[in-house]
Amino acid sequence: MSSGLLEQFILESREGLQRISEILITLEEKGEDKGLLNELFRLVHTMKGNSGLFDLPSMTKLLHASEDLMNLVREGKVPYSSEIADILLSAIDIVSTMLDELETSGSTSSETNSSAEEKAKEIRSFIEAKITEPKDISYTKELQEEVKPEDKKSVFNPGLIPEEVRMITVKKMLEGGKVYFILYTPEAECFYKGEDPFYLVRKVPFLIWGRCYLREEVPDPSLMDIYRCITNFELLSFASHEELSEHFKYVLDQVKFVELKPTDLIIPEGDRNGGSVYEDFVSEARKYLEENNFETFKNAVRGLLELTSPKLYYASILRWIDLLVDYLPKTKNIIEALLQSLETETPPIFEVKKEISISPEISIKMSLPKEFLDILETQRIVVEKLKNIEDALLKTNILKSIFLTIENGLTSLKRTDLLKELKEVAEKTTPNNLKPLEDWLNKLREAQPEPPQQPPKQPEYLERPEQPEQLEQIKPEPSATPITSRVLKVDEPKIDRLMNLVGEFVVAKNSLAYLAQKADAVYGVPELSKELKAQYSVLNRISEEMQDAIMQVRMVPVSTVFQRFPRLVRDLSKKLGKKVKLILEGEETEADKNVIEALADPLIHIIRNSLDHGIELPEERVAKGKPEIGTIILRAKQEADQVVIEVIDDGRGIDPEKLKLKAYEKGLISEEQLKKMKDSEALNLIFLPGLSTKEVASDLSGRGVGMDVVKTTVEKFGGSVSVKSTLDKGTVITLSLPLSMAVSHVMIIESAGEKFGIPMENVVETVRVSKKDIQTIKGKMTTVLRNKVVPIFYLNALLDIEQPHLTNEDGEYAVLVLSVKGELIGVIVDRFHETADIILKPFTGFLAGLRLFSGTAIMGDGSVLLIINPKELINAGRN
Amino acid sequence: MPVEIKKKEAKLTGVLGIEEAEELFNFLVDKKKPKVDLSEVEHLHTACLQLLLVFKPDVVALPQDKELALWFL
């Protein structure tokens, strides 16, 4: 198997999984939605199909089970619930793990395989439970409700089962065994899938009896399509529902199971023209039954049997009574019904009226069950829409599927009369002439639904699954044909390479500006210099656009990070017993892929904290007079060249007093600080590493878990974090990160003849400070700037350069005022230069340990600029 | 050969796969009153079984496999 195919599979499956989990959560929030359910089913179905291309049996099994469950939900047989969402979500997690393993090692580990198998089993047994649950599934409901045995009868016709088989089966049931009647309707195309329904049927566990028959008429056998399956199977089995479901697991949608009661099979048969010598016997039998004189009763039955021709209807009744006598008293009611039948010469009536339908033709010719009429109605609508479709091939296919749908419906209704009509109509109808079909449908439409006391011959169980599928096939097709995907998937390294090249190009282009200068100053050719400058401006414009374009490519919406949170919030809030609503805002805000990825972990920390410590338990919230359901808002917006993410909760907030006290106890702040610290400052204490223990966090009823980690991560990417909180009202945590990290804006300064770059985001201002304005306090230099005491450092001293700084003519130092972590510091340099956009290359290898510099950049003249890391600079200053 | 044709009678032997369906079909279409001998059949694919259901040929001998034979009663 080519690895390209596998890569494609992994990529597509990941996307599929993401969409699946989104849908699952939307469904949970918004309730059942037919469109979403269908999409869900299709996604899983596609993934299952794709996984079949590779040797991943466990994954396929798991997806198959999930698909079945989704199918039941889609068909409305099982209502969507958060229980189902849980199951499916955990299945998705397993598949996702498998994909990860596939990507790294090319195969799945036996551990995940077995957990997948287990999950598949769990889903299967969940389906079992749901199917057998009386209220969840319409057709099992019919079985268990004694009131509607006709529905069951329409699924299976016991008269076709030989009496001796029925007798053995009834015996087994009376001994406590369960018996299932199975109707297997293999799909017409099954042969093309390598299926052999007959083989499957022969291998059914505990098979008692089976028969095969054609589900449709073959008018001219010589023209038949021998590869189209039209054979149905009816079976009786002693196996349990689980065993049967397991056996038919790959064709569950084509199989109906009906659990039988003894009375379903006790159907006397035979010639009814016998004498009426049975009256005496009946009264005697009743007497024996009354007296519990079973032995004598049995003998009487045997005696009469010997006198009766076995072909008679009454002999059949006697044979049944003979069998049932052995199981008295529980069969008493049945025997009484049979005796009654013997007396009245009518078929036995057990709990409910039950007639053997001899001639289906008796029913009013035009009356059709409502379900079927519904199908006709939908087909009629499809025909209506068909008129607007141009594509001839598509039209023909849709038309075919319409006829097939109606045909299936009629076949299951056993309406041969209408089937014949349909065939005639089908011959007359062409894609360009839909009139015959339309007329015929309109004619049928006028047929009234059957009156309720005469239930449909074949209830919805066959038609129902077909209807949504038909519609589904038709709807997406018209748009699907002409439009091909316009999205190109590219590996990230390729984009990175492109970006690096563009970066180098920008640098190379800058050299032109130097060359122009040189042409004039050194070689004295001002004309050439002018032309070079003109060329430079053209290249400059193009390079800027290129840079912009490549940035656009790397831009991804924050929704890629946000979309994992509904799941996280859902799972966590369930676990914690809290009620939380997550609102996502500004998901479309875009930022560089690296920035977005950098956001993921800090956000998880923050949201977790909000859930764990911020949002109160429902009771507590109610007691505080807040709405029971807590709200977390995750908002993204763009502010200048920053992407700002806010996490807002309406939880209990952070108590600054407690926080200060805790920090003091831990020795993180001094007593003086404890007294003087403002509340807003105190909140920032949560970012101190020492406070980030769980004990403190929960004790404080606030945050603290890993907040220092959040801060470090965000700062590593050049961003910042801030926190605002009001006690009992809630907390707002704001992260801001640069939109893009590819290009940095730096200010170039000079010191000791060397040029250095300092990130512009740290630069507050550049000032000139006279030597005399610098005071030394306890050996530290300071100056007063705008009424603030600012510490002053010599850059040369910080960089270990043993040279004094230069001053201008007025004896003033050049001071660069930087803001680092909210603190102002002044750094004395020799000279200020222009600002520049640079592509920062971090140090690698041996130089990676140079923390004072964040990296280098190549300048237009080919020189290397060292970029100072202001934070580390301050640390150096402190020491 | 799973399908052996002698005049109007086809003797089916062993396991008949879907590959045999066409041959069987041709036989059943060509002959006016086709007969089949199933005595040696171990299994036949649904497609072949379906042909027997459609054409209803005379079954001159049921499969020796009792379980299989039940399907043709």
Q: Which value does ipTM take for this structure? A: 0.96
The distance of Cα A38 from the centroid of its chain, to the nearest Å, equals 12
Structure tokens at A72: 């039941």
Look up residue A271 and give its DSSP letter: B
Q: What is the pLDDT of residue A279?
A: 73
Q: Is the pLDDT of residue A130 over 50?
A: yes
Cα gap A823→A681, rounded to integer Å: 13
Task: For residue A198, give the chain B residue with the closest CA.
Answer: B46
Cα gap A818→A589, rounded to integer Å: 30
Look up residue A795 and give its DSSP letter: H
Cα gap A506→A449, rounded to integer Å: 77
Contacts of A512 (CB under 8 A, 6+ apart): A532, A535, A536, A539, A860
Look up residue A754 and give its DSSP letter: E
Cα gap A865→A756, rounded to integer Å: 6
Structure tokens at A730: 């809630």
Measured in angstroms, the CA of A2 and the nearest CA of chain B are apart by 31
Interface test with B, best of A214, A231, A237 (most B CBs within 10 A): A231
State residue A830 phi and psi, 5-degree precision: -85, -45
> Is A231 within 8 Å of B21 when comparing Cβ atoms?
no
A151/A826: higher pLDDT: A826
Q: Is the pTM of this model over 0.80?
A: no
Q: A322 pLDDT band (50/70/90 cuts)?
A: confident
Cα gap A597→A610, rounded to integer Å: 21
Cα gap A520→A498, rounded to integer Å: 34
Which residues of chain B make contact with A202, given a CB cutoff of 8 A? Answer: 43, 67-68
Q: Which helix H or strand E contains A183, and what residues bound it? A: strand A180-184
A503/A539: higher pLDDT: A539
Q: What is the pLDDT of residue A201?
A: 92
Cα gap A602→B49, rounded to integer Å: 65
Question: Which residue in the set A198, A199, A222 is minimally distant from B29, CB to CB?
Answer: A222
What's the whole-number mean pLDDT along residues A33-43?
81
Question: Which residue in the set B22, B67, B71 is minimally distant from A226, CB to CB?
Answer: B22
Query: Which residue type occupies A353?
Result: K
Q: Is the pLDDT of residue A43 over 70?
A: yes
Pick the CATH number of A3-136 from 1.20.120.160, 1.10.730.10, 1.10.3720.10, 3.40.50.300: 1.20.120.160
Task: For residue A235, give the chain B residue with the closest CA.
Answer: B71
pLDDT tens by residue, A458-480: 444 444 444 444 444 444 444 44
Pick the CATH number of A743-878 from 3.40.800.10, 2.40.50.180, 3.90.1510.10, 2.102.10.10: 2.40.50.180
Neighbours of A238 (CB within 10 A): 16
The distance of Cα A271 from the centroid of its chain, to the nearest Å, equals 61
Question: Which residue in the set B21, B44, B67 is minimally distant from A226, CB to CB?
Answer: B21
Cα gap A753→A382, rounded to integer Å: 81
State residue A60 phi and psi, 5-degree precision: -60, -45
Q: Is A222's Cβ below 8 Å from some Cβ in B?
A: yes
- CATH (residue range A567-738): 3.30.565.10
Report the CATH number at residue B34: 3.30.750.24
Domains identified in chain B, total number: 1
> Is B18 within 8 Å of A212 when comparing Cβ atoms?
no
Half-sphere exposure of A782 (CA within 13 A, CB side): 13
Give the residue among A401, A64, A49 at the shortest CA–CA distance from A252. A64
Which residues of chain B make contact with A209, given a CB cutoff of 8 A? Answer: 70
In chain A, where the domains are located: 3-136, 139-265, 278-344, 370-480, 492-556, 567-738, 743-878
Residue B57 domain boundaries = 3-72
Q: How far from B25 is each of A317, A851, A864, B53, B56, CA to CA, in Å?
A: 44, 83, 84, 12, 12
Q: What is the 3-state secondary structure (H, E, C) of A544-588?
A: HHHHHHHHHHHEEECHHHHCCHHHHHHHHHHHHCCCEEEEEECCC
Helix, strand, coil share of chain A (percent; to 5)? 55, 20, 30
A75/A186: higher pLDDT: A186
Q: A851 pLDDT band (50/70/90 cuts)?
A: confident
Which residues of chain A make contact with B43, given a CB cutoff of 8 A? Answer: 198-199, 202
**A–B: how many Cβ contacts below 8 A?**
56
What's the whole-number mean pLDDT along residues A654-659?
83
Q: Is the pLDDT of residue A789 over 70?
A: yes
For A353-391, letters b (16+ CB in 10 Å) and e give ebeeeeeeeeeeeeebbebbbebbebbbebbeebeeeee
pLDDT tens by residue, A597-638: 878 888 888 888 888 888 888 888 899 888 888 999 999 988
Q: What is the pLDDT of residue A467?
A: 42
A770-778 long-range contacts, Cβ below 8 Å, gap at least 24? A770/A810, A770/A811, A770/A812, A770/A813, A771/A807, A771/A811, A771/A812, A771/A813, A774/A813
Burial class (CB within 10 angstroms; exposed 0-12, middle 13-18, buried 19+) of A196 = buried
Q: Is A223's Cβ below 8 Å from some Cβ in B?
A: no
> Is A230 within 8 Å of B67 when comparing Cβ atoms?
no
pLDDT, mean over chain A? 79
Instruction: Specify the pairing of strand A823-829 against strand A788-794.
Output: parallel
What's the whole-number mean pLDDT along residues A731-760?
84
Contact present, A245 and A205 (Cβ < 8 Å): no
A784: left (phi over 0), alpha (psi -120 to 50) or beta: beta
Q: Is A214's Cβ below 8 Å from some Cβ in B?
A: yes
Instruction: Specify the pairing of strand A823-829 against strand A720-726.
Output: unpaired
A31: left (phi over 0), alpha (psi -120 to 50) or beta: left
Give the residue ranges of DSSP H helices in A133-234: 138-144, 149-155, 163-174, 197-202
Instruction: Specify the pairing of strand A743-751 against strand A831-839.
Output: antiparallel
Q: What is the pLDDT of residue A3?
A: 65
> Is B45 within 8 Å of A186 when comparing Cβ atoms?
no
> Is B28 within 8 Å of A202 when comparing Cβ atoms?
no
Q: Is the pLDDT of residue A114 over 90?
A: no
Cα gap A466→A462, rounded to integer Å: 7
Q: How far from A199 is each of A248, A407, A664, B44, CA to CA, in Å?
A: 12, 27, 78, 8
Q: What is the pLDDT of residue B36?
A: 92
pLDDT tens by residue, A550-568: 888 888 888 888 888 888 8
